[in-house]
Amino acid sequence: MTESIVVEDVSKTFTLRYHRTFKQMTVALVKGRDISDDFKALDDVSFTVQQGESIGLMGLNGSGKSTLLKLINGIMRPDSGSVLTRGRIAGLIATGAGFHPQLTGRENVFLNAAILGMSEQETRRKFDDIVEFADIGRHLDAPVGNYSSGMFARLGFSVAIHVDSDIFLADEVLAVGDRPFKKKCMEKMNEIRDSGRTLFYVSHAAGSVRKMCDRVIVLEKGRVGFDGDVDEGIRYLKYDDNNPENEPDENDAEDTDEDLGADI
């Protein structure tokens, strides 16, 4: 099989600053207090994903999931190690990312599509399908700065889902929005999975991971704690401990991803 994503010995560290102004930093230094600290978001992470695999990326908030997806997407670079990907990457790793608040929804469709690698001709060809899926009606010609979080999610996901890609990243894409829209998104995600594209799917919902994924990677404090079978990964996280929020009803498609989300 063809390798789609190769992450090798990847680490990423951020600096947390406790004081913002020069005066605050000076006072802190005089009193012997720390003015900053290092936080290792990812620590020597390695794994390989084959083309067409559906990966459920799980872990508690703060475990490094969103940082990892940003490295895969090329938004960030690792401090050490390497991240190699094959083909075009699309997806939604933050609600409304790439939108300009003063531009209309219509204008932002073209802007966001360009950021995701679509040509203007390709965007025009798919524009009606994008608008129909987003279903935001007359708000399409209003500035997106006036949109609700749900409308952001609708438009952002709609653009991302219509990009022809080899790898699709889904992080917090359904954290907001009504149930009918979530159901429609899940159906689209199933289409992506069945099309042979590589799917990286961040979720806290055990039920949806079982349905969508054939492998689970669990991050713990920036390290890979588990990589393997879906059911074993869910048990590893203790997401099956009689908590109804973590196990949606198998027969209720509208509740499939009630708890989808990720850490910052």
What is the tens place of the pLDDT at every residue in 89-101? 887 776 556 788 8
> What's the order of all strands across the beta sheet hosting 89-92?
89-92, 167-170, 198-202, 54-58, 215-220, 223-228
Query: Average pLDDT, stretch 187-199?
Result: 88
Residue bearing tokens 């889902």? 161
Beta-sheet pairing, 36-50 with 3-17: antiparallel
- CATH 3.30.1330.10 correct for 1-27+34-86+168-175+197-264: no
Query: Average pLDDT, stretch 118-139?
Result: 92
Residues near 207 by beta carbon (within 8 Å), at least 6 away in sequence: 246, 247, 248, 249, 250, 256
- The β-bridge partners of 120 are none
Query: Average pLDDT, stretch 223-239?
Result: 92
Residue 77 has pLDDT above 90, yes or no: yes
- pLDDT for the residue 19: 58
Residue bearing tokens 């994008």? 130
- pLDDT for the residue 147: 86
Residue bearing tokens 């500035």? 143
Number of Cβ within a 10 Å radius of residue 104: 16
Q: Domain ranges in the chain? A: 1-27+34-86+168-175+197-264, 88-165
Q: Which residue has the higher pLDDT, 168 or 23?
A: 168
Mean of the per-residue pLDDT values of the chain? 81
Instruction: Measure the CA angle with vertex 172, ends 163 and 56; round to 5°.
Output: 85
Residue bearing tokens 């020069």? 22
- The β-bridge partners of 91 are 169
CATH number of 88-165: 1.10.8
- The β-bridge partners of 164 are none
Residues near 3 by beta carbon (within 8 Å), at least 6 away in sequence: 48, 49, 50, 51, 84, 86
End-to-end CA gap in the chain: 33
* DSSP H stretches of helix in the chain: 22-30, 65-73, 105-115, 120-134, 149-161, 179-194, 206-212, 230-236
Classify burial at 56, counting beta carbons within 10 Å of its beta carbon; exposed 0-12, middle 13-18, buried 19 or more: buried
Residues near 235 by beta carbon (within 8 Å), at least 6 away in sequence: none
Residues near 183 by beta carbon (within 8 Å), at least 6 away in sequence: 253, 254, 256
* 63-67, 121-125, 236-240: the lowest-pLDDT one: 236-240
